[in-house]
Amino acid sequence: MIKPEAVAAGHSGKIIDMIIAAGFKIKAMKLTKLSKERAGEFYEVHKERPFYGELVAYMSGGPIVAMALEKDNAVADFRKFIGATDPAEAAEGTIRKRFAKSKGENAVHGSDSDENAAIEIAFHFADSEIVG
Ligand code: CMP
């Protein structure tokens, strides 16, 4: 996902360009806005964390761009490509180094395992919205 503050700042196109240039193939994509309930569901694993309420409010506060991406070793490569959660720790050349504002407003989300990627893709897309 490209997160609300990055979409609002007009960075979606640049981020999509970088994703494609890094070798990821876009299999599905949509601009959408998550309700509080849907954002809460997406981040349910973080329910007990102190920042959960803030995270849900932020992720439901404006449009996001959701994407399903394909590449060999996609999950690990995408996490490397976007950089550390905290932009202060993100490596040079990563998406978060360039676009993230803080640990919370960190421009993009990437799945942390193949299993969660499948769950998160199904959260955003019907099978008919994913190109073969
Ligand atoms: P993401 O990769 O989407 O997964 C969980 C999100 O929680 C993370 O990116 C951040 O946006 C957010 N997050 C993680 N740690 C903190 C924190 N300490 N304070 C606020 N938000 C956080």
Render pLDDT for 16-41 as a digit per residue (tens, 0 to 9).
Answer: 999 999 999 999 999 999 999 999 99
Output the residue whose Cα is nearest ligand 1's atom 1.
109
C-beta separation of 106 from 3 below 8 A: yes
Give pLDDT tens digits for 94-117: 999 999 999 999 999 999 999 999
Give pLDDT tens digits for 60-75: 999 999 999 999 999 9
CA distances for 18 relative to 8, 11, 51, 114, angstroms:
18, 11, 29, 22
Mean pLDDT of 70-91: 98
Catalytic-residue membership of 124: no
Ligand 1 atom closest to residue 43's alpha carbon, by position in its atom list:
5
Q: Where are the domains of the chain?
A: 4-129
Architecture of the domain made up of 4-129 = 2-Layer Sandwich (3.30)
Ligand 1 atom closest to residue 112's alpha carbon, by position in its atom list:
2
Determine the distance separating the centroid of ligand 1 and the alpha carbon of 32, expressed in angstroms: 20
